[in-house]
């Protein structure tokens, strides 16, 4: 018998996630999101930090393009970081972001909160 481990989001994973309910200008519905918190934290706490991904690039400075030609195309909205219960929001892995994408997203988050890396 094969025992299947339950999925726990990892830093750098791109996952499907349910963003409803939403308020104001937040992203809504079932959409992709980038995981920016480490697996150990996500597993222990049951929450994870996510940045939504959209296919509607507008050229904003906090958008980070995912690798073109990959399994999923779009831009990461690094200024819309959210702490969410990944179990309750049915997180499921789509693909993994490149190290370059992760570095760009983290750099924008650091700039947004105005701290030294």
DSSP single-letter state for residue 7 = P
- Is residue 85, in this structure, part of any structural domain at all? yes
Strand ranges (E), the chain: 13-18, 30-35, 47-54, 63-65, 75-77, 82-85, 92-96
Tokens 């049915």 belong to residue: 90
Task: Identify the pLDDT of residue 115.
Answer: 67
- Is residue 61, in this structure, part of any structural domain at all? yes
- Is residue 108, in this structure, part of any structural domain at all? yes
User: Nearest 5°: phi and psi at 76?
Assistant: -85, 130
- Burial of 19-50, coded b for 16+ CB within 10 Å and e otherwise, reads beeeeeeebeeebbbbbbbeeeebeeeebbbb
User: Which tokens in the block code for residue 62?
Assistant: 């906090």
**Domain total of the chain:** 1
Is the whole model's pTM more than 0.95, yes or no?
A: no
Q: Give the CATH number of the domain where residue 19 resides.
A: 2.30.30.110
Residue by residue, pLDDT tens for the chain (117 residues) are 665 678 999 999 999 998 877 767 667 788 999 999 999 999 999 999 999 999 999 999 999 999 877 788 899 999 999 999 999 999 999 999 999 999 999 999 999 998 665
- Is residue 48, in this structure, part of any structural domain at all? yes
Task: Identify the pLDDT of residue 91.
Answer: 95
Residue 69: give the domain boundaries.
Answer: 13-113
Task: Identify the pLDDT of residue 110.
Answer: 93
Tokens 């650091």 belong to residue: 110
Q: What angle do CA 114, 24, 61 make, to 5 degrees?
A: 40
């Amino acid at each position: 018998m094969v025992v299947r481990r339950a999925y726990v989001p990892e830093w750098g994973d791109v996952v499907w996630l349910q963003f409803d309910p939403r308020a104001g200008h937040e992203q809504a519905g079932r959409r992709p999101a980038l995981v920016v918190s480490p697996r150990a934290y996500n597993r222990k706490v049951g929450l994870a930090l996510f940045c939504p991904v959209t296919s509607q690039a507008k050229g904003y400075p906090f958008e980070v393009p995912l690798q073109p030609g990959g399994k999923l195309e779009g831009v990461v909205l690094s200024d819309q970081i959210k702490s969410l219960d990944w179990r309750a929001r049915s997180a499921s892995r789509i693909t993994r972001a490149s190290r370059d994408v992760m570095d760009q997203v983290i750099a924008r988050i650091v700039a947004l909160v105005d701290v030294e890396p």
